[in-house]
Amino acid sequence: MVTTDDDQAAAEVRLRRSHGMTASTLDRHQGRASAYDVVTEGYNYRLDEIRAALALAQLGRLAGFLDERKRVYQEYLRALSDVPEVAVPFQGRSDEEVGYHIFPVLLRRGVNRAAVIAAMKERGIQVSVHYRPSTGSAPSRVRRSACRGPRTSRRGN
């Protein structure tokens, strides 16, 4: 589900959600269009009725979800405030910009990341490396370009 107040973005999403077709099956069925063109790359990202109903019900609970995530975020901040090996990025942003869906941390230079991950796993805490540099992804390896990011690549491992 995508929500936006940008009419141009909404039109682009609607176009791409249905294979990039200029008229939907429903438009053609109801006589609003008799043909269509495929004007851009698109996908089959339409929700069926059950998933749409669930999504609408969940939207009604969104404020509560975000409040709980913020509470947990603040609890994590308090718990880590005296741990000098850990820095928490992105603090001080407006609540309107943050969903608190992950709790990223930066480990200080010299901290063994693998050991930290293993210790967290032993305690039943899920940890993963997010936002790895795209220069190491499969598509990037296939089409290596002259543009390299040595600093990014070094930090991503």
- How would you write the pLDDT of the chain (157 residues) with one tens digit per residue? 788 999 999 999 988 988 888 888 888 889 998 888 888 888 888 888 999 999 999 999 999 999 999 999 999 999 999 999 999 988 877 656 678 888 999 999 999 999 999 999 999 999 988 877 666 666 555 555 545 555 555 544 4
Whole-angstrom distance, CA of residue 98 vs CA of residue 95: 5
Output the pLDDT for position 19.
Answer: 87
Q: What is the DSSP letter of 86?
A: E
User: Domain extents for the chain?
Assistant: 7-59, 62-122
- Residue 116: both structure tokens together: 């930290």
- Residue 25: both structure tokens together: 């099956």
Place of tokens 């930066």: 106
Output the pLDDT for position 47.
Answer: 84
Output the pLDDT for position 115.
Answer: 95
